[in-house]
Amino acid sequence: MHKFHKNSEAVSKLSAQQHRVTQQGGTEPAGSGEYLHNGEPGIYVDVVSGEPLFASSDKYDSGSGWPSFTRPIERANVNEVHDLSQGMTRTEVRSTNADSHLGHVLPNGPSARGGMRYCINSAALRFIHRDDMEAEGYGAYLDQVEEPQ
């Protein structure tokens, strides 16, 4: 099993956009994220630590311009922090082990799936396709990812 943590080597390998989002709390422009339209089966992990964050089976098109999920794959890996920045009251979402800024959670998700929308920056994520999950050490999460059609 993985040990998920933040280290200077992982941070030094981030692109400028990934660093701005995860380390400085930035937001990628709406509609620009690499994973916005990704419909492949798999999981999304923290780009810094690799900790599992979201499953493709919980991803949906919210029309917001950012990847949206109804819930974290592992509640313990996602911290929700009260955010008063930019003149708004919001709930920021950060990874637990790497403390990466991921995005925000809002109470306007699909009501049939809990009503929450985890609005997440693609730059904070790395996608691992279902076919690669076992080899990359994420086999324990295969039951949370839909079977390929």
Instruction: Look up tokens 């311009």; give the residue.
Output: 65
11, 15, 18, 23: CA torsion to nearest 10: 40
The residue annotated as part of the active site, out of 45, 55, 116, 119, is 119
Is 60 one of the catalytic residues? no
- Cα three-residue angle 91-97-103, rounded to 5 degrees: 30
Instruction: Look up tokens 């009501």; give the residue.
Output: 111
- Cα-atom radius of gyration of the chain, to the nearest Å? 14
Cβ atoms 120, 67 nearer than 8 A: yes
* Residues with active-site annotation: 119
